[in-house]
């Protein structure tokens, strides 16, 4: 079973990923948590390039680098883990490319889908959670607004509020148009209420398998 978490920076995905992992492990499932870009040596090196680079990166190049990191992660880590019966939880996946590079940067969505389909060899998540939150609230948590910096923003976080607004809208369009299981979670609700929603959705899916 393959579960992905999506949402703009500062939407609170990582807290909920930790809760879901704990809950699944209590139920004796084997769980592997990964993050994108990353999860193996090659993809972590691409991550450093993408997030720490002081150079301007062309949007097409940015898309291909994120997707190259994804291809390596799918083939070397995700598919083998799924074959062994683990539940794989990934912090970001294809929808991040569609939302950030497509709706955010303005690259053609159809091309992004074709490139990602090639990179992942068609691996689609069973469940996707999109954490939706107003950009202003997310900015306070993620620190990508200069006045509220918790730590210095990475290259993506420096893209500005307009970019994140387009990205957020993009995520909502993805959810509207999807023909797979995508659940939009109101990410500024209470942490415990979100935890219960996420666990109950995963529980129903497991029971239906």
Q: Which residues bind ligand TYD (CB under 6 A)?
A: 9, 35-37, 51, 66, 91-92, 96-97, 100-101, 156-157
**Residue 207 Cβ vs ligand TYD, minimum distance, rounded to whole Å:** 29
**Residue 183 Cβ vs ligand TYD, minimum distance, rounded to whole Å:** 18
Q: What share of residues in the chain are helix, strand, coil (percent, to 5)?
A: 60, 15, 30
DSSP labels, 73-87: HIIIIIHHHHHTTPE
Nearer to ligand TYD, 87 or 187 (CB): 187
3-state DSSP assignment of residue 182? strand
**Residue 107 Cβ vs ligand TYD, minimum distance, rounded to whole Å:** 11
Nearer to ligand TYD, 121 or 204 (CB): 121
**Residue 27 Cβ vs ligand TYD, minimum distance, rounded to whole Å:** 26
Pairing of strands 127-132, 31-35: unpaired
Per-residue exposure over 107-124, b if at least 16 CB sit within 10 Å of its own CB, e if not: bebeebeebbeebbeebe
Nearer to ligand TYD, 2 or 100 (CB): 100
């Amino acid at each position: 079973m393959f579960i992905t978490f999506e949402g703009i920076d500062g939407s609170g995905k990582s807290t909920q990923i930790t809760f879901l992992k704990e809950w699944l492990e209590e139920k004796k499932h084997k769980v592997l948590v990964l993050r994108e870009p990353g999860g193996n040596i090659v993809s972590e090196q691409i991550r450093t390039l993408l997030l720490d680079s002081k150079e301007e990166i062309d949007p097409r190049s940015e898309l291909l680098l994120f997707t190259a990191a994804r291809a390596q992660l799918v083939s070397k880590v995700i598919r083998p883990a799924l074959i062994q019966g683990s539940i794989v939880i990934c912090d970001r996946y294809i929808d991040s490319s569609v939302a950030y590079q497509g709706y955010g940067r303005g690259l053609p969505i159809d091309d992004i889908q074709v490139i990602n389909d090639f990179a992942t060899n068609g691996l689609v998540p069973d469940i996707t959670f999109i954490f939706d939150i107003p950009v202003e609230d997310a900015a306070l948590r993620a620190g990508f607004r200069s006045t509220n910096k918790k730590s210095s923003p990475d290259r993506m976080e420096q893209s500005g509020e307009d970019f994140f607004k387009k990205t957020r809208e993009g995520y909502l369009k993805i959810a509207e148009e999807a023909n797979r299981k995508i659940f939009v979670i109101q990410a500024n609700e209470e942490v415990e209420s979100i935890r219960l929603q996420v666990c109950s959705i995963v529980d129903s899916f497991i029971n239906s398998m």
